[in-house]
């Protein structure tokens, strides 16, 4: 049997953390032969609820789950961890401006980045889910000077999966037949779901759907899906977000068969400002993420990619004192 790996989940008593923990423990993230030690991190007021999560996890008698550690101490919580799902964050409260939200979260993700830097495995892989995910991930990354920036990513996989699902429904295809979809930029309304290189069952997606549907229905549907779910459920996406986090980490660790969308630190590919946490189409191999190279882009794509880049530049500017 392989040695156990340590997976930290922050906000583990929250909706997404609760949904994710059981699937990680069941082997959905790292495979059915990989034992896991879960290190669940919460803020002190949520430690009682977290204890309940631990009890339920133990009650499942998951064969792969070797131990569960619950803590509000981030140095302990990130101790020797191989994978981090950083989900807990400060939600936007009534009357809070975007700039306040960014700086309040900076106070969480700066210290978390430092605690990961000081305590985690040197090969740790970090996924930030808590919103504003891209900029929170950027802050964490910048506070971890001993780690490589490529070890920090932000979650765009829910947007990516939503795009696949919408396109599969429209074209009457199986989700597995949709290849090479990309969601560029920020996890926000400015994100750019791009089907210009997408292949469905061997055919160009752009030959199967018309441009008006793509621009006026598909793009806003994917961009605003989170709001649509809140309206229907009275609560934000939880199981689908947890599922996307597991997809993201699984493909990063074990390899992706297709393009995936991940927020990574830009190295300037496609003219995107260096150092921004920006989502690109990525292929994961042997634990590495490579941006898909050489894509031709029309004027519309370039305009959409710039728009979401500009929003991320503004976010970065707002929190520059935390970098
Ligand atoms: P919940 O409010 O249900 O849970 C958040 C949990 O985090 C709470 O239990 C809270 O006590 C804990 N927490 C807060 N600050 C913490 C800290 N400093 N350290 C550890 N734990 C802390 O929210 P939930 O629905 O689970 O959503 C979590 C985050 O995911 C939110 O920021 C949300 O906006 C974000 N999302 C990101 C998505 C993405 O695609 N990137 C999609 C889904 C989701 O909206």
Give me the pLDDT at residue 141, please. 98
Would you say 89 and 54 are in contact if contact means Cβ atoms under 8 Å apart? no
Looking only at the bridges linking them, the beta strands covering 260-265 and 152-155 are: antiparallel
List the beta bridge partners of residue 199: 179, 204
Q: Which residues belong to the active site?
A: 187
Query: What token pair was written down for 10?
Result: 């922050």
Query: Could you say which DSSP state residue 216 is in?
Result: I
Q: Is the pTM of this model over 0.85?
A: yes
- Evaluated on CA atoms 222, 228, 229, 232, the torsion sign reads negative
Per-domain residue ranges of the chain: 5-154, 157-322
CATH 3.40.50.920 fits 5-154, yes or no: no
Q: Which pLDDT belongs to residue 93?
A: 76
Residue 58 burial (CB count, 10 A): 13
Are 280 and 261 in contact by the 8 Å Cβ rule? The answer is: yes
The per-residue pLDDT for 118 is 98
Cα→Cα distances 279→80, 147, 285, 323, Å: 28, 20, 17, 19
Residues 32-63: pLDDT tens digits? 999 999 999 999 999 999 999 999 999 999 99
- The protein residue whose alpha carbon is closest to atom 9 in ligand 1 is 14
Q: Give, for ligand 1, the residue of 9, 10, 16 to mutate: max count of ligand atoms closer than 8 Å to Cβ.
A: 16
CA of 242 to the centre of ligand 1 (A): 11
> Whose Cα sits closest to atom 2 in ligand 1?
14
- Res 172 pLDDT > 90: yes
**Distance from C-alpha of 215 to C-alpha of 220, rounded to nearest angstrom:** 8
Q: Residue 206 in contact with residue 213, Cβ under 8 Å? A: no
| Domain covering 157-322 assigned CATH 1.10.357.10 in the classification | no
Q: What φ, ψ does residue 204 adopt, rounded to 5°?
A: -65, 130
7 has a pLDDT exceeding 80: yes
Which residues have any ligand 1 atom within 6 Å of their CB?
10-11, 13-17, 41-43, 46, 87-91, 108, 129-131, 133, 155, 158, 187, 226, 236-238, 241
Measured in angstroms, how far is the CA atom of residue 212 from the centroid of ligand 1?
A: 35
**pLDDT digit string (tens) for 217-254?**
999 999 999 999 999 999 899 999 999 999 999 999 99
In angstroms, what is the span from residue 216 Cα to ligand 1's centroid?
A: 30
In 222-266, the DSSP E strands lie at: 260-265
Find the helix packing angle between 239-254 and 15-25, rounded to 10°: 40
Q: What is the mean pLDDT of the chain?
A: 96
The secondary structure element, H or E, covering residue 279 is strand 277-285
The Cα–Cα gap between 37 and 241 comes to 22
Element (H, E) at 289: strand 288-291
Measure CA of the first residue to CA of the last residue in the chain; give whole Å: 41
Distance 282 CA to ligand 1 centre (A): 25
DSSP secondary structure letters along 104-138: HHHHHHHHHHHHHHHHS-TT-EEEE-SSSHHHHHH
> Rounded to the nearest 5 degrees, what angle is found at the Cα of 133, between the Cα atoms of 131 and 135?
115
Strands 199-200, 203-204: pairing kind: antiparallel
Predicted local confidence at residue 309, as pLDDT: 98
**What local confidence, expressed as pLDDT, does residue 167 receive?**
98
Residue 91 CA, closest ligand 1 atom number: 32
């Amino acid at each position: 049997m392989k040695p156990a790996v340590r997976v930290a989940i922050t906000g583990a008593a929250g909706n997404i953390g609760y949904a994710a923990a059981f699937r990680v423990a069941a082997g959905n993230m790292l495979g059915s032969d990989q034992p896991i030690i879960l290190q669940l991190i919460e803020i002190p007021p949520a430690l009682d609820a977290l204890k309940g999560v631990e009890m339920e996890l133990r009650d499942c008698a998951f064969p792969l789950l070797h131990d569960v550690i619950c803590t509000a101490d981030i140095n302990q919580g990130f101790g020797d961890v191989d994978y981090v799902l950083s989900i807990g964050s400060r939600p936007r409260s009534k009357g809070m401006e975007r700039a306040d939200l960014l700086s309040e979260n900076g106070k969480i993700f700066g210290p978390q980045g430092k605690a990961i830097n000081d305590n985690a495995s040197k090969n740790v892989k970090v996924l930030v889910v808590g919103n504003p995910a891209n900029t929170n991930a950027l802050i964490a990354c910048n506070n971890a000077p001993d780690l490589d920036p490529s070890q920090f990513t932000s979650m765009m996989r829910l947007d990516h999966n939503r795009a696949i699902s919408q396109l599969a429904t429209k074209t009457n295809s199986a989700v597995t037949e949709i290849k090479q979809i990309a969601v560029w930029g920020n996890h926000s309304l400015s994100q750019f779901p791009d089907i210009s290189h997408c292949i469905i069952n061997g055919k160009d997606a752009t030959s199967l759907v018309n441009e008006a549907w793509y621009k006026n229905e598909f793009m806003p549907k994917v961009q605003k899906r989170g709001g649509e779910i809140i309206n229907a459920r009275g609560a934000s996406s939880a199981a689908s977000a947890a599922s996307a986090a597991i997809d993201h980490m699984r493909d990063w660790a074990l390899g992706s068969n297709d393009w995936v969308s991940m927020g990574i630190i830009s190295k300037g590919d496609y003219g995107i400002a260096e150092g921004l946490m920006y989502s690109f189409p990525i292929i994961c191999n042997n634990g590495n993420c490579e941006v898909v190279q050489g894509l031709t882009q029309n004027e519309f794509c370039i305009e959409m990619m710039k728009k979401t880049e500009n929003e991320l530049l503004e976010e970065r500017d707002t929190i520059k004192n935390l970098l």
